[in-house]
A and B are shown apart, each in its own frame.
Chain A
Amino acid sequence: MIPLSLEALQFAYPGQPPVLHGIDAVADTPAVIGIVGPNGAGKSTLLDLIAGQRTPTAGQCTLGDQPVHGLPRELLCRQIAHVPQLVPADVPLTVEQVVLTGRLPHGSGLFESEADYAAMEQALRHTRLTAFRGRPFAALSGGEKQRVLLAAAVCQAAPILLLDEPSAHLDPENEAAMWELFGELKQTGHLVLVVTHHLALAAQHCDRIWLLDQGRLAADGNPCAALEPARLEQVFRVPFHWHQNPEGRVFLTYGH
């Protein structure tokens, strides 16, 4: 995959203080990276910058040696698939039609190609949505909609996936399944950047954590190092604890 680099990345809304300050990070191998931090830390803005949907006020985000906000849109979307936090709830399309929207960067003709349909089939199988294919998107639960959007991102066949709180509406079973899916995507060569508030799941499933605090990258490392309790307490202002069960698995909990 093409290396993704954040170099002294800074962003501020017009007339406002910076939302992000001097973010430096590199991701050059398939991995699941959890982007965590308190509300307002700049997590979604960081995804928008990586997706080329905002222009940095200083620094840059590059794919290889190309700044992402200077790349042609279709080319960028063949490398990066961004799943935003919210889409309208009443979209009058079927699951298949939503998944097929992911193929737009691969050809903007009026109709999808055979290759687009093949990619859609594969994405539906990969995300275990084949049984849902004909259902109206609007009639799905919040969690099912998230899976369909993830399927569309997979259908986009971009090696980098940016997911903004994809498990926000999921029950525990579907949440666990989605995190397992992120692991499978890593196995197939994807770099998955997931914004999440579920620190315990991030600790369990991510290869790496980017911890944001007030727009700064407070930590970048493996979950045990990045989610060190004293640092988390400083960032989130509640105590955190690591636990280990008899089988040797570690868990993160928080609160007094």
Chain B
Amino acid sequence: MATDPRRPITALLAVAAAAALAVTVLTPFLGGSGMDYGKLWRGESPDWEIFLNLRVPRTLLAFLAGAALSLAGALYQAVLREALATPSSLGVTSAAALGAVAAIALGSGEETGFPLVWIAALAGAGLVIALVAALARIQRFSSFTLLLTGIALSGISTALILLLHSLAGITRSFQIAHWLMGGIDAVSYPVLAALAAAVALGAAWSIRQARLLNVLMLGEAWAAGRGIDHRGLNWQSFAVGAWLVGTVTAITGPIGFVGLIVPHLLRRLCGPDYRLLLPLSLLAGGAFLVLCDTLSRTVLAPVEIPVGVTTALLGGPFFVWLLWSR
């Protein structure tokens, strides 16, 4: 008799949710600067304020950002059926960064100024992914060619970012440089709530498509024969991925490799079923970036390493290993 996947999927997700919760609850207590846990327990200043207004929002931001980036990576890998497809390799992260940098350089000058930076990052991400999707549809580019196109678009975005950076005044130039390093900083709870809503929308839509994405593994012709509007599914998946990446990038700056490392390891550990892989990517991606951020702020304390640097240092060798093992 066939195995109903509901039970193992539910069990694995319960374990992953517990692990992600444990990581998210425990890591705010860890930090480079010593914390008086007695004061914290009694709710006394300044430890309580540091915990509540700096460490908790920072951890929540890391979790939401990691979850969104990992989910976007899993989505892109599903529609392109290519393990190397990620927001970074498709040029989406750089394009979102270009949009955001343009808004910082030419606009309010605030690094996380909602909604201008957010809209600009979304526009950048959306434009590039629309171009990639159009090339896939009209020119029938292979996934590998699309990745090369994404790398070229990423290069163009980076060049334009450097141009804006060089033209910006010294204050904004510093802001751009800091923002570009990809960092998790404490943000206000309303911004976190907006980000949580954006991620929840993307996650709900993605998980609803999981069974269709499973069928898409057999190719577009097969999916069409099972009643799937594969062109619509591809466009929508690209758009949702851009929504997630653009939203996160607007707040944190560009953070690469989360969408590569997490879904790929999960696929190896738990199999390819997107009904498990997508929610698991969400939970594990969140926990992964929380751990990377904890590492970033503790390993050289009191100096903090931007989390984008940590993920790149982990992700670069992983990418090379992935290429070798193909």
Q: Report if A84-B214 is in contact (Cβ < 8 Å); known contacts: A92-B272, A110-B275.
A: no
Task: Chain A residues near B81: list those with CB within 8 A.
Answer: 88
1/0 per residue, CB under 8 A from B, across A74-113: the answer is 1011000111101110011100111011101100111110
Q: Is the CB–CB distance between B5 and A81 below 8 Å? A: no
Q: Is the CB–CB distance between A110 and B208 below 8 Å? A: yes
1/0 per residue, CB under 8 A from A, across B269-306: the answer is 00111010000000000000000000000000000000
7 contacts between A and B (CB under 8 A): A84-B221, A84-B225, A87-B221, A101-B218, A110-B208, A111-B5, A111-B6
* Option from A86, A111, A117, A156 in Cβ contact (under 8 Å) with B2: A117
Number of chain B residues whose Cβ lies closer than 8 Å to a Cβ of chain A: 30
User: Does any Cβ of A come within 8 Å of B211's Cβ?
Assistant: yes
Q: Which of B1-29 contact A (CB under 8 A)?
A: 1-6
User: Does any Cβ of A come within 8 Å of B312's Cβ?
Assistant: no
* Option from B212, B267, B271 in Cβ contact (under 8 Å) with A104: B212
Nearest B residue to A73 by beta-carbon distance?
Answer: B227
User: Does any Cβ of B come within 8 Å of A53's Cβ?
Assistant: yes
In the complex, A73 Cα to B227 Cα: how many Å?
A: 5
Can you add 10 more A-B contacts, CB < 8 Å, to A51-B224, A111-B5? A76-B227, A84-B225, A97-B214, A98-B218, A101-B214, A101-B222, A104-B226, A105-B226, A111-B211, A112-B4
CB distance from B222 to the nearest CB of A (A): 5
Task: Chain A residues near B224: list those with CB within 8 A.
Answer: 51, 53, 82
Task: Chain A residues near B229: list those with CB within 8 A.
Answer: 73
Q: Report if A51-B2 is in contact (Cβ < 8 Å); known contacts: A88-B81, A88-B219, A91-B217.
A: no
Q: Is the CB–CB distance between B214 and A93 below 8 Å? A: yes
Nearest A residue to B271 by beta-carbon distance?
Answer: A92
User: Does any Cβ of B come within 8 Å of A121's Cβ?
Assistant: yes
User: Does any Cβ of B come within 8 Å of A241's Cβ?
Assistant: no
User: Does any Cβ of A come within 8 Å of B192's Cβ?
Assistant: no
User: Does any Cβ of B come within 8 Å of A126's Cβ?
Assistant: no
Q: Is the CB–CB distance between A73 and B228 below 8 Å? A: yes
* Option from B5, B211, B219, B267 in Cβ contact (under 8 Å) with A108: B211
Nearest A residue to B273 by beta-carbon distance?
Answer: A97
1/0 per residue, CB under 8 A from B, across A27-71: the answer is 000000000000000000000000101000000000000000000
User: Does any Cβ of A come within 8 Å of B90's Cβ?
Assistant: no
In the complex, A102 Cα to B229 Cα: how many Å?
A: 15
Contact count band on A? 35 or more
Q: Report if A110-B225 is in contact (Cβ < 8 Å); known contacts: A86-B219, A93-B217.
A: no
Q: Is the CB–CB distance between A104 and B217 below 8 Å? A: no
In the complex, A111 Cα to B4 Cα: how many Å?
A: 9
Nearest B residue to A80 by beta-carbon distance?
Answer: B225
Q: Is the CB–CB distance between A53 and B225 below 8 Å? A: yes
CB distance from A239 to the nearest CB of B (A): 36
Q: Is the CB–CB distance between A101 and B226 below 8 Å? A: yes
CB distance from A151 to the nearest CB of B (A): 13
CB distance from B290 to the nearest CB of A (A): 28
User: Does any Cβ of A come within 8 Å of B215's Cβ?
Assistant: yes
User: Does any Cβ of B come within 8 Å of A120's Cβ?
Assistant: yes
Task: Chain B residues near A73: list those with CB within 8 A.
Answer: 227-229
In the complex, A208 Cα to B82 Cα: how many Å?
A: 42
Q: Report if A104-B215 is in contact (Cβ < 8 Å); known contacts: A73-B229, A87-B221, A96-B2.
A: yes
Q: Is the CB–CB distance between B222 and A104 below 8 Å? A: no
User: Does any Cβ of A come within 8 Å of B67's Cβ?
Assistant: no
Q: Is the CB–CB distance between B2 and A121 below 8 Å? A: yes
Q: Is the CB–CB distance between A83 and B275 below 8 Å? A: no
Q: Is the CB–CB distance between A93 and B221 below 8 Å? A: no
Task: Chain B residues near A117: list those with CB within 8 A.
Answer: 1-2, 4
Q: Is the CB–CB distance between A104 and B2 below 8 Å? A: no
* Option from B207, B217, B227, B273 in Cβ contact (under 8 Å) with A74: B227
User: Does any Cβ of A come within 8 Å of B98's Cβ?
Assistant: no
CB distance from A132 to the nearest CB of B (A): 13
Q: Is the CB–CB distance between B225 and A77 below 8 Å? A: yes
Task: Chain B residues near A83: list those with CB within 8 A.
Answer: 225
1/0 per residue, CB under 8 A from A, across B104-115: the answer is 000000000000
Name the residue among B215, B218, B226, B272 with the largest chain A CB count within 10 angstroms: B226
CB distance from B31 to the nearest CB of A (A): 40
Q: Is the CB–CB distance between A91 and B225 below 8 Å? A: no
In the complex, A189 Cα to B81 Cα: how many Å?
A: 36
User: Does any Cβ of B come within 8 Å of A133's Cβ?
Assistant: yes
* Option from B2, B4, B225 in Cβ contact (under 8 Å) with A133: B2
User: Does any Cβ of A come within 8 Å of B132's Cβ?
Assistant: no
Q: Which of B224-243 contact A (CB under 8 A)?
A: 224-229
User: Does any Cβ of A come within 8 Å of B161's Cβ?
Assistant: no
Task: Chain B residues near A92: list those with CB within 8 A.
Answer: 217, 267, 271-272
Nearest A residue to B208 by beta-carbon distance?
Answer: A110
Q: Is the CB–CB distance between A87 and B226 below 8 Å? A: no
Task: Chain B residues near A76: list those with CB within 8 A.
Answer: 227
1/0 per residue, CB under 8 A from A, across B193-228: the answer is 000000000000001101110110111011011111
Q: Is the CB–CB distance between B225 and A81 below 8 Å? A: yes
Task: Chain A residues near B218: list those with CB within 8 A.
Answer: 87-88, 91, 93, 98, 101
Q: Is the CB–CB distance between A77 and B226 below 8 Å? A: yes
Task: Chain A residues near B207: list those with CB within 8 A.
Answer: 110
Q: Is the CB–CB distance between A84 and B219 below 8 Å? A: yes
